[in-house]
Amino acid sequence: MRVLTTLAILLAMLLGISVLAQPPTVPAVPFHDSLRGTTPLDEEAKPPLIYPTENQDVIRGLNYAQQPPTIPHKIDNYQLDRNANKCLACHARSRAQESGAVPVAISHYLDREGQVSGHLSPRRYFCTQCHVPQADAKPLVGNTFVAVEDVTPQPPPTSKKR
């Protein structure tokens, strides 16, 4: 019995070594990734051009409820850290009328318990966590998003009773 076990172990080891000794197979079709293109994984891909940020001050429509609005202007060199928030120079509720900017939403003044406070909530202080500037660039990946209002209701499935 021991001899059979030893032979089985030796046979498994020989098969493992022979599999490891073979070179890896390369697929006939070149590898393609939507972000890397056909650049092999062991090479550095050429980075795509950075598109210029739109600076049109046109407010875009929203695609779904609670969607954060996009930033319709450039924010290059804006200081946005724990010491300063350049966005509030125009968008603070006290300055929005004179600057003509959209004021910060009242939801940004709610604390964790849902109580309105007199200052911006720390959870909403860093604007670019949710709001982003836009560029007129080709999408990197496809999007099949459909708003809930545009979805045609389907009849419920019928169950067959026996």
The pLDDT of residue 20 = 62
Q: Is 130 annotated as a binding residue?
A: yes
Size of the chain in residues: 162
Q: What is the pLDDT of residues 79-107, one digit of tens each?
A: 999 999 999 999 998 999 999 999 999 99
**Cα dist. 95→47, 104, 130 in Å?**
40, 10, 21
Pick the closest to residue 66 from 131, 143, 140, 7 (CA basis). 131
Q: What is the pLDDT of residues 14-72, one digit of tens each?
A: 776 665 666 777 667 767 777 777 888 888 888 877 888 888 888 888 888 888 999 99
Q: Is 108 annotated as a binding residue?
A: yes
For 54-137, which CATH class?
mainly alpha
Q: Specify the higher pLDDT residue, 57 or 78.
A: 78
Q: Is 129 annotated as a binding residue?
A: no
| Region of poorest pLDDT, from 8-22, 100-114, 144-158 | 8-22
Please tell me the distance from the alpha carbon of residue 125 to that of residue 84, in angstroms, as a whole number.
Answer: 10
- For residue 64, the Cα-to-chain-centroid distance in whole angstroms is 16
Region for 10 from its dihedrals, namely left if φ exceeds 0, alpha if ψ lies in -120 to 50, beta otherwise: alpha
Q: Is 131 annotated as a binding residue?
A: yes
The pLDDT of residue 33 = 76
Please tell me the distance from the alpha carbon of residue 94 to that of residue 88, in angstroms, as a whole number.
Answer: 9
Q: Is 125 annotated as a binding residue?
A: no
54, 72 contact by CB (below 8 A): yes
Please tell me the distance from the alpha carbon of residue 54 to that of residue 88, in angstroms, as a whole number.
Answer: 20
How many other CB atoms are found less than 10 A from the CB of residue 135? 10
The pLDDT of residue 16 = 67
Pick the closest to residue 140 from 36, 10, 65, 63 (CA basis). 36
